[in-house]
Structure 1
Amino acid sequence: MSQKDDFDLRNFLPFLLNQAAEESSLEFQRVYKNRYGMLRTEWRVLFHLGIFGEMTAKEIGTRAKIHKTKISRAVQKLEERRYLTRERDENDRRVERLALTQAGRAAYNELRGIAEQYDNRLAAHFTTGEAALLRMMLRRLAGLE
């Protein structure tokens, strides 16, 4: 005797957000993975340094909401590929300042252009107003507004 559960998972907002995030990121994921051998956290660290300039791992973690161990691994991989440098902070030797190298800046610039094109293709599924509303609502849910 099983009872029918009327909970509609397909309309559960966290499920929908996760499904939309996975589906919408697949094509861009192929680009950064195939072209640069990067994982998701690595491109996110690269983009933070590309956009904001020199930062600490802690600052990236706070902005990107990424756990420090994942950032540490991403930084190590990006350093091995010579995409970033680490420099000890003169005032606090426990802190490392991270910055993109010339190769890291080139990778960022190429991926940024691809990301902008991809973003435009995704937004084209909606009217201009719908895309703006969707971005506003997602920023609000993400705590960015």
Structure 2
Amino acid sequence: MASENVNLSTWDIDSYFPALITWVYNKVASRSSSIYLARFGVGLTDWRIIAYLGLFDGGTNAQICDYIGLDKAAVSRSVARLKTKGIAVVTPINRRDLKVELTKEGRELGEEILRVALEIEANLLAGVSEEEKQQILAFLRKVLNNVSTIKKSG
């Protein structure tokens, strides 16, 4: 339970985990997205979906939303863009669900973007040992698992 003695004027926001991780995410996402747009004509959301489709050899919008943590509208817009650009194909499964798969061109584009994504990761982890990287990843996986414990308040 949070301390009852809280004061915004003395709060150390730089030590508040949700703020720090959000700032890191926002800055990395902004830089990455501008690189992907300039080089490949796709934004960060598109890249995430391309990566998912390549990794899992396709999927439905719902599966993409669940795995990546994006909202349905963002995924639908991105899938429509990818389809228009010839990066993905969409096939009806039933009245509600669509299967989304990469085209050959989409897979090739995904592999080009992956090279750049791995360069970005290398830049972010410069000076970090492999052991430290594995510790960071283990820590972030624990935090990710704990997200479901956050209670919605009303």
- TM-score class, shorter-chain normalisation, is 0.7 to 0.9
In the TM superposition, 1:118-137 aligns within 5 A as 118-137=120-139
Q: Which has the higher contact order (CA 8 A, sep 6+)?
A: 1
SS of the aligned residue for 1:30 comes to helix
The CA RMSD measured in Å over matched residues stands at: 1.9
CA distance in 1, matches of 2:26, 2:144: 16
Provide the C-alpha distance between the structure 1 equivalents of 2:145 and 2:81, rounded to a whole number of angstroms. Answer: 29
Deviation at 1:114, TM superposition (A): 1.4
Compute the TM-score of the two structures, normalised by the length of structure 2. Answer: 0.83
CA-CA distance at 1:63 after TM superposition: 0.4
Q: Distance in 2 between matches of 1:25 and 1:129?
A: 25
CA drift of 1:11 comes to: 1.1
CA distance in structure 2 between the aligned counterparts of 1:4 and 1:86, rounded to whole angstroms: 49
CA distance in 2, matches of 1:127, 1:133: 10
- Structure 1, unmatched stretches of 5+, are none
Kindly indicate whether residue 49 of structure 2 is the aligned counterpart of residue 45 of structure 1. Answer: yes
- May I ask how many residue pairs the two structures share in their alignment? 140
TM-score (norm 1): 0.87
Where does residue 9 of structure 1 map in the other structure? 13
Work out the CA distance in 2 between the residues paired with 1:125 and 1:81: 38
1:91-140 superposed Cα distances (whole Å, 9 cap, x missing partner)? x2321110001111111010111112221222223122221111111122
Which residue of 73, 77, 84 corresponds with 1:73?
A: 77
2-structure distance, mates of 1:123, 1:45: 24
> Residue type matched to 1:71 in 2?
V
Q: What fraction of aligned residue pairs are identical, expressed as a percent?
A: 23
Do the aligned partners of 2:86 and 2:106 also contact (CA within 8 Å) in 1?
A: yes
After TM superposition, where is structure 1 displaced by more than 6 Å over at least 4 residues in a row?
Answer: none
Cα distance, 1:6–1:45 mapped onto 2, change above 3 Å: same
